[in-house]
Structure formats: C-alpha cells, structure tokens
Amino acid sequence: MYQMDTLNRPQVYEALVAKCQEVGFTMPTDVHVGSLLKTLVASKREANVLELGTGIGLSLAWMIEGLDEKSHLVSVDNDAALITIAKEFFGDDPRVELVCEDGTAWLKRYNGARFDLIFADAWPGKYSDIDVALDLLKVGGIYLVDDMQVQPDWPDGHEELASALVDFLAKREDFFMSKLDWSTGVIIMTKRQ
C-alpha cells in the first residue's frame, strides 16, 4: 500500500491547512479525493470544470494543479468569507473564477458551456438540483461526490439522504457509475449519452 506522504500535495497545501485552523474550517476535502480530482482534471485537455462548494479551497488547490493552460474552472460557494480566502490564494489565476452565490441560484441561471468535470461538494448539485448539475455535463464528462461513507457525526436523517442519492444516481441510465469504498466514500459517474 502506498504512503499518503508520497502524494504530491499542492504547493499551497500547508498554507491552506494553516488557514483552516486559523478560521476554524472543519470540512476540507480529504487528501486522497484531492489527488484523485487532480488526476481526473488532468485527463481533460482545455477542460471546463465546475466545483460546487469552494470551502477553504483545498479541493480547488488540487484541481488547479491538474488544469492545463487553456482550461477554466469555476468554483461556487455562498460563504463570502471563504470566497475571500480562496481569492487570496487563487485570485490571480486567470483560469479560475470564484463566485460567491447560492449554488442553486447559480446552477439555475448558468447558461454557458457544458462541463468536463463537476465536483459537487455542497448541498446544491448533490442533495438538491442534481438533475440540473448532471444536465450541465458533456458526454464523457465526470460527476464526482465524496463523503458518502456513513459517519458517526452525521445528523439524523443524513444517512437516509445519502442512501437516496446513491439509489437515484444508480438509476441514471445515461451514466456509468462507480462506487468507491475508499477515502471518505466516493461516487464517480461518467455521462455516456
């Protein structure tokens, strides 16, 4: 089995972890999921990538490392303080667009190009408005969600929600689906038609 330390973490990784502690952000994306995201993003040339749930910017940092020069990544979060932090780290990157807006509102008004990859890490696009998010993918595009393994600190009803999401995704015949019992529990879907 490989060692976690052999993963090439983003250059800003340590600074972002320190920022998490400074501001008390408790929901950063797991290092393995980040590494997977980077690898998947790097498989798409001139990629158009969407992240729902910028958070402190950890998954964003990984994905940015996978972007080629002509790629574009938009990341949406409704927390202005978190978007400000992300802008401090990534605001100078012309490939990256950081949006402070409710994810549902953003998904419903977006009418731009379809995406090669969507990382749905907020409620919208995962537990609501999922059809809207899936419709925004190109054929061959990837939809990824994490945090699917049951956690002891999940609030009442969350396990049923997660289970309903898995059932819903499994019924989408226009996607191939893989469930990974790995990291925090990951689902990867590829749009096939």
Judged by the rule CB under 6 A, the positions of this chain that interact with ligand SAM are 27-29, 53, 55-59, 76-79, 82, 102-103, 121-124
Q: How far is the CB of 144 from ligand SAM (least distance, A)?
A: 11
Taking each continuous run of H as one helix and of E as one strand, the counts in the chain are 7, 7
Reading the block at residue 161, the tokens are 């929600």
**CA 82, 86, 91, 94 torsion-angle sign:** negative
Closest to ligand SAM by CB, 77 vs 116, is: 77
- CB atoms under 10 Å from CB of 183, counted, come to 18
Closest to ligand SAM by CB, 31 vs 180, is: 31
Q: How far is the CB of 66 from ligand SAM (least distance, A)?
A: 14
| Neighbouring residues of 178: CB distance < 8 A, sequence distance ≥ 6 | 187, 188, 189
Alpha-carbon span 180 to 64, nearest angstrom: 23
Q: How far is the CB of 44 from ligand SAM (least distance, A)?
A: 19
60 within 8 A of 73, measured Cβ to Cβ = yes
41-71 core/surface letters (b: 16 or more CB in 10 A; e: else): beebeebbbbbbbbbbbbbbbbbbbbbeeeb
Closest to ligand SAM by CB, 105 vs 139, is: 105
Closest to ligand SAM by CB, 151 vs 192, is: 151
Selection from 118, 85, 88 nearest residue 103 by Cα: 118
Q: How far is the CB of 6 from ligand SAM (least distance, A)?
A: 21
Q: How far is the CB of 93 from ligand SAM (least distance, A)?
A: 16
Closest to ligand SAM by CB, 149 vs 173, is: 149
Q: How far is the CB of 97 from ligand SAM (least distance, A)?
A: 14
Residue nearest to ligand SAM (CB): 55
Closest to ligand SAM by CB, 65 vs 77, is: 77
